[in-house]
Amino acid sequence: MLNLVRTNSDDNDFIALVKKLDADLAQRDGADHTFYSQFNKIDKIKHAVVAIENDEPVGCGAMKEFMPDSMEMKRMYTAPQDRGKGIATAVLTELENWAAELSYTKCVLETGKRQPEAIKLYEKNGYKRIPNYGQYIGIDNSVCFEKELKK
């Protein structure tokens, strides 16, 4: 049974999963990793979700305020051996629900073209591509998305 735990960036399971995420991204992004890593610090994240299955942390995600009406989804990760079980969708849905509870009306996010499974996840969950925003403007490897939250 999957248990979703709302937490923050001080959570040891969240920190351990993000280290695995960063190792995976360093391999995928190659020379571009330094650029992306500067935007992926996890200190002071107030809203993180850790997925626990059989007492093991298997996935995570986080969000931070992007604009007064929107949250930016960050640090989504599922352990390779646990992919394909719907864990990422469960984490993403929990984050969206939490954002809506906090009165946010929209979620945005950025992912890389070298992460086709992430792109499929977001499209499957109702995210629409938008022009790259902020630090991702003009970055060829970046793909940005947004989703209006249900009221």
Residue 50 confidence (pLDDT): 98
With residue 68 as reference, give the H or E element that holds it.
Answer: none
Q: What gap in Å lies between CA 91 and CA 86, rounded to an integer?
A: 9
Question: What CATH number has the domain bearing residue 50?
Answer: 3.40.630.30
CB neighbour list of residue 22: distance below 8 Å, 6 or more residues apart: 37, 40
Residue 136: which domain range? 2-148
Encode the chain (151 residues) as per-residue pLDDT tens digits.
999 999 999 999 999 999 998 887 777 556 554 544 545 555 689 999 999 999 999 999 999 999 999 999 999 999 999 999 999 999 999 999 999 999 999 999 999 888 899 999 999 999 999 999 998 999 888 999 999 998 6
| Number of domains observed in the structure of the chain | 1
Query: Would you state the structure tokens that stand for residue 64, as one six-digit string?
Result: 């931070």
